[in-house]
Amino acid sequence: MDKHLTIPDNDKGITAYKIAAITVLIAGLALFPFVITNRFYISLINEMLIYGLLAMSLDVLLGYTGLLSFMHNAYLGISAYVVGLFLIHISPSSLWLALVAGVIFTSVVALPVGWVQVRTGGLAFALLTLAFGMMFHTIVWKWYGLTGGDDGLMGVPNPAITIFGWKIGDSGDPATMYLFTLVIVALCYLLTRRIIRSPFGAVLEAIRENEERAAFIGINVRMYKLFGWMLACMLAGVAGALFILYKGYIGPTTMSAFAGAGVLMMVLLGGLGTLWGPLVGAAIFIYIQDYISTMTEHWEIYLGMVVVLLVLFLPTGFVGLGSYFKRLGKE
């Protein structure tokens, strides 16, 4: 091959080894509900997948574009409420329409917010995400007539899952819903991975590395920051749609700043700028949360301690474990 057409990156792209690993993982997850029929474990993993998708979408923003959002869960919440309201008030059986409505509405909200936010960077950007997120949280919390306020949105119907008119199953059935979630999350992961490796993704990385220089090589920094933001919010919107379909319920605490910090921890626990790291981070976070909350209702205290330890001893997150063991092996 002509040397002038190759790119000397450390990244080898898709290798046979990676394809095998991803296939085994997805197959294992797909078989899970047939092996372990306990509904509790199925919905636990379902939740890991949904929050994994949310954490991954935050990684697009934080790990690739270099923008910190404290309340990315707000966009999961907005989408979940819209999908829920759509199913309750407009059409109880149109799953795909509801999903699309959720993602579109989330984008419509995220666009002007992003337009304002990308005029800043760094800490100011992060503070604006917090300000907007808290506004959305309060609107949802106080608008009792529409959202059910404190009680949350209840009585969301379970539409049938159909593909091109073929009925696959019912979204009220945990195993079916779990498999549906798995397929959507896997597709989102592969799609995002592709986008991140595209010339577009390269622009986002340049902005993360050096915003000023990016402008001086001809990149419209604000525009691309807005694109990165929109991508992250749309993915969060997909996660929100899955969330309401699987739970059939959403309350305002899902959109709180406290929950937003949890999403950020998932990303950092897993490893920034890797896409799959935050998926793993979300799984670890939710497992720890679930495990500790069976023992004490003050689970946040112990979760906090675990996170402190992980950050101190594993600062690059779970994905840093590999190089950690390599170093141990050498010593």
Partner 1 sequence: MEAFLCTEDLCRHFGGVTATDCVCINIEHNGLRSIIGPNGAGKTTFINIVTGRIPASSGKVLFQGCDITNKPTHELVKMGICRTFQITSVFKDLSVFENVRIARQARKGGSLKIFSLKKHLREVTEETWNILERLDLQNLAAEPAKNLAYGDQRVLEVAIAMAGTPTILFLDEPTAGMSPAETRHISDLIQGLAEDISIVLVEHDMDLVMSISDAITVLHYGSIIAEGQPDDIRSNELVREAYLGKEE
Residue 209 is a binding residue for partner 1 (CB under 8 A): yes
Residue 327 is a binding residue for partner 1 (CB under 8 A): no
Closer to partner 1 by Cβ: residue 191 or 309? 191
Residue 15 is a binding residue for partner 1 (CB under 8 A): no
Nearest Cα residue to 83 out of 114, 55, 104, 112: 104
Residue from the set 37, 93, 138, 198 that interacts with partner 1 by CB under 8 A: 198
Residue 195 is a binding residue for partner 1 (CB under 8 A): yes
Burial of 263 (0-12, 13-18, 19+ CB in 10 A): buried
Q: Please report where in the chains the tokens 């700043």 appear, as a residue.
A: 257
Residue 7 is a binding residue for partner 1 (CB under 8 A): yes
Residue 150 is a binding residue for partner 1 (CB under 8 A): no
Residue 163 is a binding residue for partner 1 (CB under 8 A): no
Residue 221 is a binding residue for partner 1 (CB under 8 A): yes
The first and second tokens of residue 223, run together, are 């525009």
Closer to partner 1 by Cβ: residue 193 or 249? 193
Closer to partner 1 by Cβ: residue 173 or 205? 205
Closer to partner 1 by Cβ: residue 11 or 297? 11
* CB environment 195-231: b (16+ within 10 A), e (fewer): ebeeeebebbebbbeebeebeeeebebbebbbbbbbb
Whole-angstrom distance, CA of residue 24 vs CA of residue 41: 20
Residue 4 is a binding residue for partner 1 (CB under 8 A): yes
Categorise residue 94: left if φ over 0, alpha if ψ from -120 to 50, beta otherwise: beta
Interface residues toward partner 1, by CB under 8 A: 3-10, 13, 194-195, 197-203, 205-206, 209-210, 212-221, 224
